[in-house]
Structure 1
Amino acid sequence: MQRPEAWPRPHPGEGAAAAQAGGPAPSARAGEPSGLRLQEPSLYTIKAVFILDNDGRRLLAKYYDDTFPSMKEQMVFEKNVFNKTSRTESEIAFFGGMTIVYKNSIDLFLYVVGSSYENELMLMSVLTCLFESLNHMLRKNVEKRWLLENMDGAFLVLDEIVDGGVILESDPQQVIQKVNFRADDGGLTEQSVAQQNGHQGTSETQNPGARAQPDGTHRNTGPWALARNRT
């Protein structure tokens, strides 16, 4: 599917230093009055989506711009976000010039990251869609064990919700229908998973226990078909 035209994405590394240090957002550029900087409209509303366990370790992550261009910067950012949010009851955090919505589910923390000027309700709709879609897919509570066993399906769910930072879908029923159609049509194969995990312009990681394949891709051993039919 061809991605719609939009305004340019942020410059590489913008905001990363402040987020890693836990500090405020970058100040206005030279010549711009403080507090009067206007943001250009953009379709690229999502900067990142990631899921951590209850120790703050990454299980699944996708980054959609160059705010955190390296794996090291991403991991530091995730750890700082976890430390800030894991012991609070709130569902929204403002950190390093970004708006973050999150949800705790048993032994998992799910996060959706947008720019500081993004609508929290829009970000929350993505988070809710992701959680409810995973809950339907697993037919269990969304927890670490079931997520690790069905990581391929989890990535397919996420890719139906967000593509390159653009929100595609916020209705979990539509997401599940599309994912099931792809699975029933034979779309969930080694080749399709490799394609899903190779989107240009994103950075993503599966769980550390994923099994390496001869072609260099990684596939989790958990059967997607069993997850779809589990009662």
Structure 2
Amino acid sequence: MVNLSLYTVRAMVIMDGEGNRLISKYYSRGPHAQNYKTFKDQKKFEGELFAKTRKSTSEVILFDGQTVLFKYVNDAYFYLVGDPEENELLLSAVLNGFVEALSLLLKHNVDKRNLLDNLDMVVLALDEAVDDGIALETDPNVIASNVSKRGVDSIDALTTSINEQALLDMYKQAKERFSLAMLK
């Protein structure tokens, strides 16, 4: 039977070179969703997945009845878990787009330390690429652009703009009061 669901991603997991979880998101929606509801189930799945893939040279495997794509960059493993019937090219485009967007956002320095230091951008990029198990975006430039628009820099710029506007308003009010006081 052909899978006609939008829910293409079951999980996205990022682990360090020793198999420790850095970030993970499990999606439990869709017709064939296999839930790893407990932390213990998730850790068991991640440990077995890491043991199976750490010395593998392929990028796609069938594991635990699911299609798993993975990519190793510096000292981080990126895993995307999908349905067994899902198109591997679509899943690969999502994973590669996400990893390339992180590379752009982190100035081509994707490693464990930078991933943890910039966790907010990593999570935003993940949310831009996949939302509740639905693949939204595969273009790394679009993902990086959307994340940088919502990033800390834009919030700081907005706060600065508001502060400058408040200072200008206070200056105008003080000037008016001073002028009124001088006229009396």
TM-score strictly above 0.5: yes
Give 2:155's match in structure 1, choosing from 169, 174, 186.
186
Aligned pairs for 1:142-181 within 5 A: 142-181=110-149
Distance 1:121 1:74 in 2: 25
Helix, strand or coil: the match of 1:135? helix
Return structure 1 stretches of 4+ with deviation > 3 angstroms.
Answer: none
The answer on whether the counterparts of 2:3 and 2:86 sit within 8 Å (CA) in structure 1 is: no
Q: Can you list the C-alpha shifts for 1:166-187, whole angstroms capped at 9, x where unaligned?
A: 0110001011111111125429
Q: Can you list the C-alpha shifts for 1:79-127, whole angstroms capped at 9, x where unaligned?
A: 1110001001100110111000001111110000001000111111111
Distance 2:22 2:57 in 1: 22
Q: Which residue of 2 aligns with 1:90?
A: 58
Give 1:140's match in structure 2, choosing from 108, 127, 149.
108
Helix, strand or coil: the match of 2:36? coil
Distance 2:66 2:122 in 1: 25
Q: Which residue of 2 aligns with 1:52?
A: 15
Distance 1:53 1:181 in 2: 28
Distance 2:43 2:58 in 1: 22
Distance 1:135 1:185 in 2: 20
Residues matched between the structures, number: 150
Distance 1:178 1:94 in 2: 32
Q: Can you list the C-alpha shifts for 1:49-95, whole angstroms capped at 9, x where unaligned?
A: 01001110000000011521111101100111100010011001101
Aligned pairs for 1:97-136 within 5 A: 97-136=65-104
The answer on whether the counterparts of 2:3 and 2:85 sit within 8 Å (CA) in structure 1 is: no
Distance 1:172 1:147 in 2: 17
Deviation at 1:40, TM superposition (A): 4.5
Task: List gaps (5 residues or longer) in structure 2.
Answer: 29-33, 157-184
Task: List gaps (5 residues or longer) in structure 1.
Answer: 1-37, 188-231
Per the normalisation by structure 2, the TM-score is 0.78
Deviation at 1:140, TM superposition (A): 3.2
Per the normalisation by structure 1, the TM-score is 0.63
Asked if residue 81 in structure 1 is aligned to residue 44 in structure 2, the reply is no
Distance 1:39 1:69 in 2: 27
Distance 1:40 1:127 in 2: 20
Residue type of the alignment partner of 1:78: E
Helix, strand or coil: the match of 2:108? coil
Helix, strand or coil: the match of 2:150? helix
Which of the two has higher C-alpha Rg?
A: 2
